[in-house]
Amino acid sequence: MLQKLIIKNYAIIDHLAIEPDGHLNTVTGETGAGKSIILGALSLILGERADTTVLINKDEKSVVEGYFDVSRNDVFKKALASAELDYEPQCIIRREIAVSGKSRAFINDTPVTLTVLNKLTSLLVDLHQQFDHLALEDDHFQMEAIDAIGNSGADADHYRKLYYQHKTIKQKLADHRERQAQWQKESDYKQYLLDELLQANFKEGEIEQADQQLKQMSHAERIMNVLQAGRNVLEEGEQPLVNEVKRISQQLQGIVDVMPELKPLLERLTSVWAELKDIAAELEAEEGKVMLDPAVMEELQQRLDLGYKLFKKHGVKDTGELLAWQQKLESELKATLDLNETIEKLAAEEGAVYKELMKEAEQLSAKRNKVMPSFTKKINELLALVGMPNARFDVRIETCAPSVHGIDNVQFLLDANKSGQFQLLQKAASGGEMSRIMLCIKSLTANALHMPTLIFDEVDTGISGEAARQVGILLRDLSKYHQVICITHQPQVAAKGSQHFYVYKEPDKAGRLSTKVKVLKQDERVLAIARMIGGEQPSEAAISNAKELVEL
């Protein structure tokens, strides 16, 4: 709800503040007093392009501020979060036009682009000006109106949840299939690489061990000579070292009883003898391991050649890295199989949700078609009351592919003059007629639809008398559920307001005319409405008529 509108230095407005109430606010005043200028200023905070010619004082910037109570507007709160803007129960929208011509917009003191401003303020203010057909060109509004009349809003919400659920699953399925197609192109080659590695069947460290073993076999003769020479010195020569050490130990054993201090040396010699004997045994064992088998060498060379070939092919340095790459290929090919299973599950889920979606869509469509006759009948009755007795309103519903609104394509049609030829409403209706049709539609859906502040600019153009009175009644009834601001020239409409603003021009100290606004008291209101009926000097009859209108 709009709580306050402040305008500074805009066109012929020096400074004014308007504080509408939460019901029907009527705005009247002489032609040229500045009513349209106020709407122009309001349009700035709704995201309209700025014009530097509106600066009345070229030395100061122009500022328009709107204060809105958004404490119960959950849709706006979510939109703020999506735009990464802070939420406050009172939202302040400000637009500034600098002397240089640069324009800036703010929401709760945070700078925003005009696109963001327009999107967010559309959730706060619905401005119906002549030739403004945007709402009726919006399929969402038309569908909401029909669902509101048929009390099928909850069904539509349930359908939309299913629609977005189906859309999400369908997108996920498409993504997985795209990934599957990509993986399929690579999987055959990956399988070939894996088969090659599996056939090679290398074990951890095998290639490094083969390399070492082959080197040993290539030097087998030299190794054997060294091992045999060592063993020969220790145990098999003319004077084996092991025997000599043993002989010295035995000799020391013979004198240790008379020279006890030699006992530690004896122990050390005994230990050396045992160690040398052990070394000789190990040399013999190692000698037995040395192989010089051409067949084994050839086999090792083949394994080594294969290993190095695979190293180069896969860009790895050792057997461990090669086996890690093999495991990676196995995991990726398994993931391909898992992906196929996931796709099957998603396809089944998508089919089930689509079936449920179509069931809900058909039920929703049936409700919409059922309510159409009564909806069109009520609109036509209201059109006759608001000065369009020759107009015929109709709704065309055609089945279409599932969309966020269902399987219905809805078009509002109008035959303005009983010609028997219906056209799209936005093409067949004039600006004033369009505003009245919107008023009729919204009056029928007022208690079911969440709508922002509704502003009607001269919705009563071209009508008078009873038709104008009916427009006033519709506006008043609409204001029971929503804040309504209506600029009007009709006394019958002005009298229905819960608050009456009067726009006028007044010279300032420099003699320059400036637009002013004031809230009329009861006696001022009667006089203003009487002047709308009988001119600047209203008669007693006009005043009496004005009193009657205000009191009704």
Domain ranges (residues) in the chain: 1-124+452-519, 206-317
So what's the pLDDT on residue 131?
A: 38
Give the Cα separation of 157 and 118 in Å (integer).
25
3-class state of residue 73 by DSSP: coil
**DSSP track, 239-273:** S-HHHHHHHHHHHHHHHTTT-GGGHHHHHHHHHHH
So what's the pLDDT on residue 132?
A: 46
Q: What is the dihedral of CA 228, 230, 234, 237, to 10 degrees?
A: 60
So what's the pLDDT on residue 135?
A: 53
Short-list 433, 124, 118, 173, CA closest to 441: 433
CA of 389: how far to CAs of 177, 384, 415, 433, in Å?
A: 58, 4, 11, 12
Give the Cα separation of 87 and 81 in Å (integer).
8
So what's the pLDDT on residue 50?
A: 79
Task: Kindly state which CATH superfamily the domain 1-124+452-519 is placed in.
Answer: P-loop containing nucleotide triphosphate hydrolases (3.40.50.300)
**Dihedral pair phi/psi, residue 101, rounded to 5°:** 100, -10
So what's the pLDDT on residue 516?
A: 92
So what's the pLDDT on residue 158?
A: 94
- Looking at residue 233, the DSSP 8-state letter turns out to be I
So what's the pLDDT on residue 134?
A: 47
> What is the model's pTM?
0.67
So what's the pLDDT on residue 137?
A: 55
Name the residue with tokens 């569908």.
Answer: 143
3-class state of residue 318 by DSSP: coil
Q: What is the dihedral of CA 544, 547, 549, 552, to 10 degrees?
A: -120
Short-list 470, 445, 455, 454, CA closest to 388: 470
8 Å CB contact between 144 and 120: no
Mean pLDDT per 10-residue segment, the chain (552 residues): 93 91 92 87 88 76 93 90 92 90 90 92 76 54 85 90 95 88 76 85 87 77 79 81 87 87 89 89 79 76 87 89 87 77 91 95 94 92 90 92 91 88 85 83 78 83 86 91 91 93 86 89 92 88 89 74
8 Å CB contact between 421 and 479: no
So what's the pLDDT on residue 139?
A: 65
